[in-house]
Amino acid sequence: METLALIDAFVRSAEAKSFSAAARKLGVTPAAVSKNVAKLEASLGVQLFQRTTRSLTLTEAGKRFHAEASPGLATLREAIDGVTEARRAPQGTLRLSVTQAFGREYVVPLLGGFLKEHPLVVADFSFENRPIDLVAEGFDVAIGAGFELPPNTVARELARAHVVAIASKAYVAEHGLPKTPSDLSAREGIVMRSAQTGRVREWPFRTATGERAAFLPKPRIVFDDSEAIARAALLGLGIGFVAMPHAAPHLESGALVRVLPKWHADIGAISIYFASQRHLPAKTRVFVDYVVQQFKRLKLAKRFDAR
């Protein structure tokens, strides 16, 4: 470990071109950094720096040693950080972004068990219906579906995101059920506006046997919130198009029924995603694992499957 400290002092001094700047990064005095570099030079039997009162420059031997030692040192730092993180109890503030309706219905109920297991973690939720740049916006984890994941992220799939057509029993009693996709063109629809494009979303629907069709009722109400679509459908205001996580509770209770039940649209995966890095903070790692395990335990992927 002493040799590692000597090499660390040299590499940081070479990068900062200053013993003082290296000392600030290492949290020691400039004299300590200079002493460690001198020890390393004595051990190697070569001069690594040309020193003047105003500058610090690498010698040819110093340049060669820096080029060869720096990558290895970075790997060792990561290995040490990883071992240290693995031993440390998960702690700190965990910032999570999730859509309001999905988060309230399926993620918030998981918090009690998670926080009981990890009492040093503080959960900080933001409820937003948009993709998040985790690093730029300071989030640890996000859950979402139906959009392309931001770069430099890793995702673990929780379930498929299936969109279905729904209506209330009162609406069906008054207007009847359409028999084919083309019948929808004359119906009043409660549809979704894309948060990214501002346009009404139209999904390619399909059946289990491979039939495909793009269909949409005549837009009468446009929302940018899935919960609002389900609520409006419950009120008998038209045929709504909504993802299964928002429709499932009402379909199971019988308050809503599937319209054209053989048809659904698969808009991708509902994923929990986090920044791509070699050593995840313990708080992030245990939360991701916990959510994945709970979704499996509760069989939510099966519950959200519209096939």
* pLDDT tens by residue, 27-37: 889 999 999 99
262 phi, psi to nearest 5 deg: -80, -10
Q: State residue 84's pLDDT score.
A: 57
pLDDT (0 to 100) of residue 174? 93
Quick one: pLDDT at residue 172? 94
> How high is the pLDDT of residue 115?
96
pLDDT at 188: 86
Give pLDDT, residue 203.
81
What domains, with CATH codes, occur in the chain?
Answer: 2-87 (1.10.10.10), 93-307 (3.40.190.290)
- pTM for the predicted model, two decimal places: 0.70
DSSP code per residue over 140-160:
SEEEE-SSPPPSSEEEEEEEE
| pLDDT for the residue 162 | 96
pLDDT confidence of residue 152: 79
Cα distances from 280 to residues 91, 140, 190, in angstroms, run 13, 9, 42
Place of tokens 């926080």: 115
Q: Report residue 282 as tokens.
A: 């313990």
* Residue segments in the chain with a per-residue pLDDT below the cut of 50: none
Q: Which residues contact 20 (CB under 8 A, 6 or more apart)?
A: 30
Q: What pLDDT sits at residue 40?
A: 92
Tell how strand 121-127 and strand 92-98 pair up.
parallel
